[in-house]
Amino acid sequence: MIPKSISVKGKYNLGYSESMWFIYILLCTDGSLYTGISNDPDKRLAEHRHGKGGHFTRSHQPLKIIYREKCKNKGEALKREYQIKSWTREKKIRDLKLKTGHL
């Protein structure tokens, strides 16, 4: 169950509005992909690189953000994250190529 509200004041807010949320996809050094949400994707990437992200990125070193998508709010970002995480790797790569022209 997703909580109705979670206070993140000061946690990820560096240069972005707290009401602005993003889906981001990281490319890891082993070629794996990681999908997450944040209201400051660049700061979140730095946290992942320093072992302060999820368990996955502690064992799969993040290299760079290869995709980010602005969402209206945190709820929309969580729904989109859930959707993208349900996709196969092949679908993620195919969709990223269509949206960005590369991977």
Tell me, yes or no, whether 73 lies in a domain: yes
Does any domain span residue 58? yes
What is the amino acid identity at position 48?
Answer: H
Of the candidates 86, 61, 81, 57, the one whose C-alpha atom is nearest the C-alpha of residue 71 is 81
What is the tens place of the pLDDT at every residue in 9-45? 344 444 555 679 999 999 999 999 999 999 999 999 9
In a domain, 40, yes or no: yes
Expressed as residue numbers, the domain containing 68 is: 21-100
Read off the pTM. 0.78
**Is residue 46 included in any domain, yes or no?**
yes
Residue 78: predicted pLDDT = 98
Kindly state whether residue 88 falls inside one of the protein's structural domains: yes
Question: Residue 79's pLDDT is what?
Answer: 98
pLDDT, one tens digit per residue, over 47-65 is: 999 999 889 999 999 999 9
